[in-house]
Amino acid sequence: MAVNKNSNGYTFLFSTLMVVIVGTALAYTSLSLKPLQKANEADKKMVNILGAIGVTASRDNAKEEFSKYVTERISVTFAGKEVNKTSGEIDATDKTDPFNINVKKDYRGIIGKIVKSTKKDPELQESKLMKADVAYPLYVCVKNDSTFYVAPVVGTGLWGPIWGYVALMDDAETFYGATFDHKTETPGLGAEIREVFFTEKFAGKTLNNGADVVFEVKKSGSVTDEHSVDGITGGTITSKGVGEMLNRTLPVYVKYLEQTSNQKAQL
């Protein structure tokens, strides 16, 4: 019996088969490329962490350079309590390895929502962040016999997510270096947070360790001191976003490092 290729039934059947075939091919391609995508993401993360301590690396030598300078990977709670500590080779399937913590995903799914809903109530925000099931990764690095602590930070700019890595010196309050990036900030304005002329301003600055850890990214053109940097011209909201993510995240690591220092002093 001849098939009527002009019938609606044939057209529907052909379309269905094509959707199944193309869908299967796309799914297979996606699954095949996933390990490579994860490897590229890991290499990029290593490059950014090393960049915070002034080490230039590429995806080609990221693993080698990372193992050379990063001695420990630690995860802590919002209260500064250690969750896990490890070193050596990274296993991408090991969910307990601090390196595998997806800080952007945690911010998007948990932290960012808390921040948005508690902007006008800092005490409530701290309380909710304390209860949130989130671990914060920290990288201990050694360069030229000096120890540095590299902390990832994530926040929100004018148009979307911003993030970065900040290196503190072994006093846990002096900035050694920083790298920042964004997803959709305006070129020539907020997008400038990723440029060297902005990130180099942080070197040598210090956190104001009082009741709270305070560091200010001021409006462009403002007078700055040891606890602040000049923001991006025309990028006030993005600059404020950088300050917000630093002041929300860095106290977590400062608490941990202070507790660790006190424990060592008692030994």
Give the pLDDT confidence score for residue 57 in this predicted structure.
92
pTM: 0.85
pLDDT band, very low/low/confident/very high, at 10 (cuts 50, 70, 90): low
Give the pLDDT confidence score for residue 104 in this predicted structure.
95
CA distance 10 to 84: 60
What average pLDDT does this structure show over 182-194?
A: 85
Give the pLDDT confidence score for residue 44 in this predicted structure.
92
Q: Minimum mean pLDDT among 112-116, 134-138, 195-199, 206-210: which range?
A: 206-210
pLDDT band, very low/low/confident/very high, at 210 (cuts 50, 70, 90): low
Give the pLDDT confidence score for residue 227 in this predicted structure.
93
Q: 180 in the Ramachandran plot: left (φ > 0), alpha (ψ -120 to 50) or beta?
A: beta
Give the pLDDT confidence score for residue 36 in this predicted structure.
60
* Higher per-residue pLDDT: 188 or 123: 123
Q: What Cα–Cα distance (Å) separates residue 42 from each residue in 63, 91, 129, 144, 193? A: 9, 11, 27, 25, 22
What percent helix, strand, coil does the chain show, rounded to 5? 45, 20, 30
CA distance 46 to 57: 8
pLDDT band, very low/low/confident/very high, at 15 (cuts 50, 70, 90): confident
CA angle 48, 42, 37 (to 5 degrees): 125
> Six-digit token pair at 103?
């800080």
What pLDDT, in 10s, does the model give residues 213-260? 789 999 888 888 999 999 998 889 999 999 999 999 999 999 999 888
Give the pLDDT confidence score for residue 89 in this predicted structure.
92
Is residue 14 pLDDT above 90, yes or no? no
What pLDDT, in 10s, does the model give residues 148-186? 999 999 999 988 899 999 999 999 999 999 999 998 887
* Higher per-residue pLDDT: 209 or 206: 206
Give the pLDDT confidence score for residue 6 in this predicted structure.
64
Residue 162, SS3 per DSSP: strand
CA distance 54 to 201: 14
What average pLDDT does this structure show over 101-107?
A: 96
Q: Minimum mean pLDDT among 1-5, 195-199, 236-240: which range?
A: 1-5
CA distance 24 to 117: 41
CA distance 85 to 98: 8
pLDDT band, very low/low/confident/very high, at 32 (cuts 50, 70, 90): low
Residue 232, SS3 per DSSP: coil
CA distance 216 to 66: 30
CA distance 175 to 164: 13
CA distance 143 to 230: 28
**Closest by CA position to 162, among listed 68, 80, 69, 243:** 243
Domain boundaries, the chain: 70-266
Q: Is the dihedral of CA 213, 197, 241, 177 positive or negative?
A: negative
